[in-house]
Amino acid sequence: MATIISKKKKGRTYYYAVQCQRVDGKPRIVWQKYLGTIDAIVARANDATPSRPVSAVLSEAGGVAALLRIAQRIGLVDIIDAAVPKRNQGPSVGQYMLLAAINRALAPRSKLRIGTWYEQTVLRRLWGFTARDFSSQRFWDHMDMISDEAIEQVQEGLLETVGREYAIDTRVLLYDTTNFFTFLATTNQSELAKRGRNKLKRHDLRQVGLALLVSQQFQIPLLHRVYPGNVNDVALFPDISRDLISRFGTLTGRTPEPTVVWDRGNVSDEGMEQFIVSGTHFVAGLPANRSPELLASPLERFQQVSGCPGTRAFSTDEIVWAKECRIVTVYTESFFAKQLAGVTNNIVKCQKRLADLEKPLRLWHQGKRRGKRPTIAGVRKAVRNILSLQFMKQIVTVAVREENGLPALEHRVDHAALQNLIDHRLGRTLLISDHRDWSAADIITTYRSLAAVEEAFKNMKNIHFLHWQPAYHWTDQKLRVHGFYCVLGLLLATLARLTAVQAGIELTVPALLDELTAIREVAVIYPPGTPGARKDCITLSSMSPRQRKLAECFGLAELLAGG
């Protein structure tokens, strides 16, 4: 340790910084530096100015570090690397997938731009790799290493570690599907990207389907499947139900056994029979044609459901798929109002379209020929398209006949049929469960929690966070891997929300990610050799009280200091 000593020369006192050590058992000065007189020391101190930094570098920190902390807790990189090992050279496959997942969650980029984004985050300092290590070609090379079997193995591993680390409540699991359009050309050979009924109305584009199984609380994704865009829900469910059932070996190690919830669009005899045989509990919607007589029951039969305002229901026990199940017929006032408004709008649309169809026919009958001569078959086909809207075949009556060799058209609203629809169909749904000991309220509230899956899909279509697009991949294998890391991004984000809520910070997933991404790391850069300047002048940007609480919740300071 250095000390300051004084020496007198010709009556004046001079000061030195010295360092002493024992040499041959005796104290000796081994280093000294002249400081000058006391007046000179004071003058230098008064004239000294703080070192001026050259620049400050801002890096994305809060969101990246929080999701990295979640990934470390569940051992995500290790699980992926165990499924897809490679030689110890550059980033591992697990690190590539973690980077892609974090990027999807926070700032979706194409593979051409992800390296640039990486360099602007704290991962560059924490991992030490360069942007070139995450070039688009290297990303694609590592994506090629991930097989369907590896994705299944990773899902199995995550199911176990997430359940253990976060004690996920698996008593109720929610299943649903959605689809995402792509920009693949028609000439591109793909078994996954197919044209179908797109939920964003982009029927002109090829699409890919995504099936998700999530927890009821916090919508933690536990299973996913990417499937062809032209496969409807009913055709998919028997196949994916086998995957669901096989996963329950891990889940049912805990009690009670899970109950799976899905909507009526997935109900098929084959899929239901598989669940019945496996003994897996379920709550599902039933198509109206399964029991039209129950739907048409007089409204007086329905009783108010406790805890469900505006909802009335009654229960019956019936043998369905060779098992006695409880069927709940539900009437909901808000659903009735919504359906009635939809029926009214559809009637208006049909009347306008039928009038537009009838107008040129009248001109032909008046001898005013316009365009191609109409035919009976052509008019009937047009009528079928117009009446394809829900309930319209029941309440709009259309007659197509021949007059003087030309088709003629008449249409009217069947008010008796409309009233019958209002009295015996609108506002009603059928639910079914193998839980015969559950009340109608239990079954109804459990089924209604299915809306939480829609929230997960909504997050994946958010243009700022967790966005599926851009998906510039041209092979089925890469589309599956793309779906894989998109779901991993959702997993990390939902676990981050669970962590925040447990710390008393109640936010939606987008709001949480928005708060976290506003936290930046600031590195102050000084000129080389600047006296007194530290080379590691790194701190976090100023934070709101909520952001400070989030930073403490995720241990951001400790994680970033450890880098």
**Does residue 213 sit in the same domain as residue 314?**
yes
Whether 236 and 299 share a structural domain: yes
Confidence at 48, pLDDT banded by 50, 70, 90: low
Shared-domain flag, residues 345 and 323: no
- Whether the pLDDT of residue 94 is over 90: the answer is yes
Would residue 42 count as lying in a domain?
A: yes
Could you tell me if residue 198 is inside a domain? yes
| Both structure tokens of 92 | 């591992």
Tokens of 249: 């070996």
> Does 526 or 504 have the greater pLDDT score?
504
Model confidence pLDDT, tens digit, residues 244-276: 767 666 555 555 578 889 888 888 878 788 778
Q: Which of 370, 396, 424 is the last residue of a domain?
A: 424
Q: How many domains does the chain have?
A: 3
**315 shares a domain with 349:** no
Where does the pLDDT of residue 382 fall: very low under 50, low under 70, confident under 90, or very high at 90 and above? very high
Number of CB atoms found within 10 A of residue 560's CB: 22
| Together in a domain, 306 and 270 | yes
473-493 tens-digit pLDDT: 778 888 899 999 999 999 999
Helices (H), 84-134: 93-106, 111-119, 123-127
Q: Report whether pLDDT(563) > 70.
A: no
> Does some domain include residue 540?
no
**Within the chain, how many helices (H) and strands (E) appear?**
21, 17
Looking at residue 27, what is its pLDDT? 80
Res 381: pLDDT: 93
Domain assignment of residue 388, yes or no: yes
238 & 354 share domain: no
Those residues whose C-beta lies under 8 Å from the C-beta of residue 328, and which sit 6 or more positions away, are 313, 314, 315, 430, 431, 432, 433, 440, 443, 444
- Whole domain around residue 211: which residue ranges? 167-329+428-464
Q: Are residues 306 and 230 in the same domain?
A: yes
The residue among 405, 424, 443 that closes a domain is 424
Residue 112 lies in a domain: no
Same-domain check for residues 225 and 198: yes
Distance between CA atoms of 547 and 74, rounded to whole angstroms?
24
DSSP 131: G
My answer on whether 184 and 303 are in the same domain is: yes
Note whether 373 and 260 are same-domain residues. Answer: no
In a domain, 22, yes or no: yes
Both 291 and 373 in one domain: the answer is no
How would residue 451 be classed by pLDDT, with cut points 50, 70 and 90? confident
Backbone angles phi, psi at 140, to 5 degrees: -65, -35
What percent of the chain clears pLDDT 90, i.e. is strictly above it?
A: 34
Question: Could you report the per-residue pLDDT of 211-251, keeping only the tens digit for each?
Answer: 888 888 899 998 888 888 788 878 788 777 777 767 666 55
Name the token pair of 185.
């050309």
Query: Does residue 287 lie in a domain region?
Result: yes
Q: Residue 217: inside a domain, yes or no?
A: yes
CATH code of the domain in which 231 resides: 3.90.350.10
Nearest one of 274, 259, 71 to 175, comparing CA atoms:
259
Q: Are residues 220 and 311 in the same domain?
A: yes
